Amino acid sequence: MDDLKLYAASLEQLKRQLEIVAAFSDSINMRMGINKCATLEVKRGKMQDTGQQTTLLNNVTIPTLTDKQTYRYLGVQQALEIKTSEMKDLYREILHSRLNLLLKSKLSSKSLFNAINIWAIPSITFSFGILTWSTTELREIDRNIRTTLTKFGIHHPHSSKIRLYLSRRQGGRGLLNLEDTHGKHIENLRTYFYKNNSPLFQAIRMADDNLSALKLSSRDYHPTQRTDEELKHEWRSMALHGRYPGHLEKEEINKTESLRYLRAGYLFPETEGRLMAIQDQVMPTRMYLRHIAKQDIPSDRCRKCSQAPESIQHITSSCTIMAPRDYLDRHNAMAKIYHQQMALKLGLLQHEIEQHLYCPQTLLQNERYRLYWDATMLTDRGVAHNRPDITLFDKQRESCFIIDVTIPADDNVSRAYAEKLNKYGDLAFQLKELYNLKSMSIIPLIITVNGLVEHHLIENTERLKLDLNIISQAQKQVILYTTRIVRKFLQGP
Ligand SMILES: [Zn+2]
């Protein structure tokens, strides 16, 4: 700290103190920045506008602070008192101008939220403990930040608020929340003043009867500060918003892998916001409009197929009109990632091609391997399901992998795995007999429409000797396709 503030009982005493500072500064070769220095005389609680300057022995002259002037001490404008309301307005203004600048910056979602946390939010949080903020004021600023995010299409107005503030590790977006941050700052500062028992600190504690923002004379002042655990609990307990976190905690789901897209934070903030609105079940589907928003619409049946209620689950995974094209594209995007990486690994391809340009050949082969894409496997006796996404024969090991990709609704994930094993059981048995194979495996690869990673996917990816990073690539394609499917569906006729 190089800002020094001296208090004295009289002008005479003040001058003596200033002489000491001046002499000390001279001896260590430090200069006083006179243009930033001022004296202020107070009589019976009133500032005296004497205009009298103080000249020190070393010929340095310090002016007086006049009535209308303030000075900046540790970044806060003050005169006799801290100019609380002016300072608060100023900090709010800085926060909002920085927030708006960042929102125009085209950062990826995680970088954007990080930047808000480390550049915009601190314009207010650094005053915590110095200025007194009420919970109402803090909540209002939090609300304004959310409204601004909504204006930029980054946060759906009906999406979970709590989720915005939950860490990305736990499935949230990791935005700092002023109310909780305030609680933490105050608690830390109070702890500092309470753990020291010197007479000075005791006196400070006694004297601070609602004088400072820390309210030190009151032992039981504890402003709210929710932990990640509490936020998570609150999120899960919500009827609609709580479904996705409920699925995340299921045994069949690998939570860490499932939240990879959030930890990496590579999506555009708008896309991430849209995905969250889908996961939070607040997209304007007919089911939502009629039963949640209570709008008077004639029917809640699907606008495309009329075969089922138009829920977000229906749109993302079970509409017969969307299946042949949109769901298939999503499915193929994931299957192609696996196909290309296997082909590279097995020496069947030399160069990697960008994912969206990759068109797998029906058969790739070399001395040892035969790798089929979406090909009908012929057997002696006919079987009902004989066209898996990928089939790999290994001549040397006399083995075969039947690999099939599924992208089910979040609810159907456990059923989907068993169904795949069952579906290709017959084919596996027949191929094993026909080619006299030593081993035969059915490998379902499953990520749900919302990007939840079915827990076998990790070991299955390892069994294929592939780098585990491709799970993240596959997840990225799935969630991008899902957001596109929903947008197309809801914008369509
Ligand atoms: Zn439909």
Least confident segment among 147-161, 214-228, 325-339: 214-228
Tell me the pLDDT of the chain averaged across its residues. 93
Q: Which of 446, 401, 454, 393 is nearest to 420 (CA)?
A: 446
Q: Distance from the CA of 457 to the center of ligand 1, in angstroms? A: 29
Kindly state the tokens that stand for 216. 């030190």
Q: What is the distance in A from the centroid of ligand 1 to the CA of 447?
A: 21
Residue 369, pLDDT score: 97
Give whole-number Cα distances, 40 to 2, 5, 18, 191, in Å.
19, 11, 13, 33
* 309 CA from centroid of ligand 1 (Å): 8
CA 313 – ligand 1 centroid, Å: 10
Name the more confident of 59 and 115. Answer: 115
The yes-or-no verdict on residue 152 having pLDDT over 60 is: yes
Listed in sequence order, the residues at least 6 apart from 366 whose beta carbon sits closer than 8 Å to its beta carbon are 346, 347, 348
Residue range 54-64: average pLDDT? 84
* Pairwise CA distance, residues 114 & 232, whole Å: 20
Q: Name the amino acid, one letter, at 180.
A: D
273 close to 155: Cβ distance less than 8 angstroms: yes
Q: Which of 59-68, 242-251, 448-457 has the lowest mean pLDDT?
A: 59-68
* Spacing, Cα 486 to ligand 1 middle (Å): 12
Contacts of 18 (CB under 8 A, 6+ apart): 6, 54, 56, 62
The whole-model pTM stands at: 0.87
Distance in Å, CA 276 to ligand 1 centroid: 22
Render 59-74 in DSSP notation, one character per residue: S-EEPBP-TT--EEET
66 vs 281, higher pLDDT? 281
What value does the mean pLDDT take over residues 362-369?
96
Q: How confident is the model at residue 353 (pLDDT cuts 50, 70, 90)?
A: very high
Residue 346 C-alpha to ligand 1 middle, in angstroms? 41
Strands of 390-394's sheet in order across: 363-365, 369-373, 390-394, 399-406, 439-446
Kindly give the distance from the C-alpha atom of residue 329 to the centroid of ligand 1, in angstroms, as a whole number. 17
CA of 333 to the centre of ligand 1 (A): 22
**Identity of the amino acid at 211:** L
Higher per-residue pLDDT: 145 or 239: 145
pLDDT average, residue stretch 270-294: 96
- At 148 the pLDDT is 98
pLDDT of res. 1: 54
Q: How far is the CA of 287 from the centre of ligand 1 (A)?
A: 12
What is the CA(240)–ligand 1 centre distance, in A?
21
When pLDDT is cut at 50, 70 and 90, the band that residue 493 belongs to is low
Distance 488 CA to ligand 1 centre (A): 13
Separation of CA 315 and ligand 1 centre (Å)? 6
Cα–ligand 1 centroid distance for 448 (angstroms): 18
- 150 burial level (CB within 10 Å; 0-12, 13-18, 19+): middle
How many A from CA of 449 to the centre of ligand 1?
A: 16
Query: What does the pLDDT read at residue 300?
Result: 94
Q: Which of 77-81, 248-252, 258-262 has the lowest mean pLDDT?
A: 77-81
Which residues does 143 contact at the CB level (< 8 Å), separation at least 6? Answer: none
Q: How far is the CA of 311 from the centre of ligand 1 (A)?
A: 9
| Mean local confidence (pLDDT), 463-476 | 96
In angstroms, the CA 277 to CA 450 distance is 11
d(CA 146, ligand 1 centre) in Å? 33
Mean pLDDT of 467-482: 97
Residue type, 436: N
Cα of 285 from ligand 1 centre, angstroms = 11
Scanning 196-353, the segments in alpha helix (DSSP H) are: 199-207, 228-236, 243-248, 255-258, 260-264, 269-279, 286-287, 312-313, 328-345
Residue 325: DSSP 8-state: I
Q: What percent of the chain has pLDDT over 90?
A: 79
448 pLDDT tier (thresholds 50, 70, 90): very high
Task: Decide if pLDDT at 423 tops 90.
Answer: yes
- Measured in angstroms, how far is the CA atom of residue 307 from the centroid of ligand 1? 6
